[in-house]
Structure 1
C-alpha cells in the first residue's frame, strides 16, 4: 500500500513572500527620497548636456565641484543637526564672521595658519553657545540659532563694512591652488583644489562618524525618539551640544575654503542665505526634517542638484537669476511632500 504525499497547494507561499516584500519595503522606504534626488540629478545633467552641451566635460565638472565645496561642507554639518531633530540657522552668518575675523587677524600680523585655525574655533564657539542654550536652557533650536545668526552677522558688520583682503603671502591662498589631475583637449582639464579635497574628507569623516561611532548612533537616536535614547543610557545631553559644535566648526571650515576661492577677500555680506541652501540640500538629499532618518551622502547629492540647477540657469542666459530661488523652493516642496507621504505610510 503506497502512501501518498500531498503537495502544498499552489500559491501557499504567497503570504510568506508578501510578508518578505512588505518588510523589504518598510526597511528601504528611507532611501526613496535619496534615490529620487539621484534620479533628479541625472535627469538635470542629461538635459543640460542635450540643451547646452559641454556638461559632461572635465572642465565643467571640476568647476562645479570646486565652486560648491563650501556648500557641501555646510550641508554635512546641517545633516548632523537635522538628523537630531534640530536646525541651525546661524551657519551663513558664522561663515561671514569667521571669514572677516580671520582675514583681519592675518592683516594685523597673526600667523596665517593660526588665523585659519581660529576661524574654525570661532565657528565652533558659536555652535557651543547654541548647543548649550538648546540643551540646558530648553531654548528651541530655531530661536537659539536665529539669535546666533543675528549675533554673528552683527559682529561681522562691526568688524568691517567694507571688503578686507588677506595678505598675498597668507597660507589661506594655498587652499585655492589648482591641481590638474587630467590634461584634456583644449580647456577640458580636470582641475581641482585642496578646498574640494577638504570637502571630500569632511563627507567621509561624517559618514564614518554617523555610522561607525556611538555618538553617531546617538544622533540618530535623538532624532528618532529622544526619550527612548535616554532610557537606553545614550549620552543625549553631551551629544546634542557636540552636534552644534560640529556644525559651527564646519561653518568656520567652509569660510576658510570659500575665502581662499575668492582670492582671500572677506566681507560682512558673505554667505547670505547659505543656511537655506544647506537646509534645501539636506532635505532634497532625503533627510527627514523631523530627524532620525537620512544620509550624509544624500545631502551631497542634494548639493549637486542645487549646483546643477545653478549651472543650467547660467548656461541658458535667458533665465533670470531670481528664478533660481523659485525653482529651488518648488523642488524643496516636492521633496517635503514626498517625505510626508512616506512618513504617513510608515505610520499606517
Structure 2
C-alpha cells in the first residue's frame, strides 16, 4: 500500500501585510497589532519632531506659522519629495541607490540641451523620463543578474550619469522654452494669499500613486516581502528578481521626474546640479522611519522626513546669523539619532 504526502502550497503575497509580515489571520491578532504599532512608531516620532520644530519656529519668529511658509516647504522641496519616494522603493527591498543625484543633474542637462536644440517640450519630457528609467533598469539588472552590491553598482551609475552631464556641456544651459517657463512661474491659489506651484501638484500626485502601489497592490506587498527576507520571498514563489529590477527602475524614473522639477525650479541645466542630493534623499527616507535593512517603511514617512529637513533649513534661514552648513550638521545629527532608534526598535521587536 502506497502512501502519499502533500506539500503545502506557497503562501500568496496577498497573505502578507504591507510590511511583509504575516497578517493577523495567520497569527495572534494581539501580536500582529503590536508589530504594526512598532512599525508606525518611527513615523509618529518623525511627525512629532516636525510639529516640535515648527512650534519652536512659531514661538521664536514672527510670521513663521503663516500658510505661505508651510506652502514654501513643499515648493522648495517638491523635487526632493519625488526623489525620496523613489528611494523608498529601493531601500524597502534592502538596497540603496547612490546615482539619483547625478540622474537629477543628467535630466536637467538633457532637458536644457534638447530644448535649446528646438525639440518640442512633450518630446523632451518623454526623453528625460526614458533616460532615467533606463539607467535605473540597467543598474537593477546588473545587481540582480551578477549578485553585486547595490552600493557599488549605483556608485558606478552615479559616476556614469555625472560624466554624461559634462559630455553634453560643461557650462550651465539656460531654459528659455515658453512651456517650461510658464509651468515654472505658474501658481495655484489656495485662498488666503497662499499659493503653490505646479511642481507641488506633480510631487503630491507621485506620492499618492506610490502609496497606492506599495500598500494596495501585489507588487507593493512583494517589495516589503523582499526587504523582510529575500530568501523567504523566493521560497514563497514571489517574483523576486523582476520586482527588484522594477524597484530600481522606479527609482530612476522618480529621479528623472525630480530632475524635471529641479529644472523648473532652477530654469537651467548644469552638470553640478544635485551634488549630494542622493544623501538628502536617503536621510529623508531614514528619518521618515524606513529601515535601511528593508521591509519596513511608509511613503508618508519619507515625505515627513523631507519636511523635517525643510523646516530645519527654514529655521536657519530665519535665524540669519547661522551658516547654511548648520543644516548639514543638524541633518547628520538627526540621521544618527533615528538610526539608533531603528536599532532599538528592532531589538525590542526581536
Q: TM-score, normalised by structure 1?
A: 0.90
**2:326 maps to 1:319:** no
CA RMSD of aligned residues (A): 1.4
8 Å CA contact retained: 1:178, 1:191:
yes
Match of 2:152 among 133, 143, 167: 143
Structure 2 segments unaligned to the other structure (5+ residues)? 1-27
Q: Once the 2 structures are TM-superposed, how far is the Cα of residue 346 of structure 1 from its aligned partner? A: 1.2
Structure 2 match to 1:125 = 134
For residues 148-192 of structure 1, what are the alpha-carbon distances to aligned partners after superposition, in whole Å with 9 as ceiling and x for unaligned? 00110111012111110122424464144112221x3xxxx2111
**2:308 maps to 1:308:** no
Structure 1 match to 2:218 = 214
Match of 1:88 among 75, 83, 97: 97
Match of 1:34 among 43, 56, 59: 43
Measure the CA separation in 2 of the matches of 1:125 and 1:46.
Answer: 43
Match of 1:274 among 274, 277, 285: 277
SS in 1 for 2:275: coil
Measure the CA separation in 2 of the matches of 1:168 and 1:81.
Answer: 34
Structure 2 match to 1:76 = 85
> Does 108-117 or 41-50 show the bigger shift?
108-117
Match of 2:67 among 35, 55, 58: 58
Measure the CA separation in 1 of the matches of 2:32 and 2:153.
Answer: 40
Structure 1 segments unaligned to the other structure (5+ residues)? 1-18
Kindly tell me: are residues 110 and 282 of structure 1, through their superposed partners in 2, closer, same or farther at Cα, counting changes over 3 Å? Answer: same
Q: TM-score, normalised by structure 2?
A: 0.89
How many residues are matched? Answer: 323
Measure the CA separation in 1 of the matches of 2:216 and 2:36.
Answer: 20
Measure the CA separation in 1 of the matches of 2:188 and 2:173.
Answer: 27
Structure 1 match to 2:268 = 265
Structure 2 match to 1:242 = 246
Q: Once the 2 structures are TM-superposed, how far is the Cα of residue 27 of structure 1 from its aligned partner? A: 3.1
**2:157 maps to 1:179:** no
SS in 2 for 1:68: helix
8 Å CA contact retained: 1:173, 1:260:
no
8 Å CA contact retained: 1:85, 1:289:
yes
Measure the CA separation in 1 of the matches of 2:307 and 2:136.
Answer: 26
Structure 2 match to 1:192 = 196
8 Å CA contact retained: 1:34, 1:286:
yes
For residues 29-70 of structure 1, what are the alpha-carbon distances to aligned partners after superposition, in whole Å with 9 as ceiling and x for unaligned? 111111110000000000001111212212211222111000
Measure the CA separation in 1 of the matches of 2:109 and 2:32.
Answer: 52
**2:297 maps to 1:294:** yes
Structure 1 match to 2:344 = 341
Q: Once the 2 structures are TM-superposed, how far is the Cα of residue 23 of structure 1 from its aligned partner? A: 5.7
8 Å CA contact retained: 1:112, 1:172:
no
Q: Once the 2 structures are TM-superposed, how far is the Cα of residue 22 of structure 1 from its aligned partner? A: 6.2
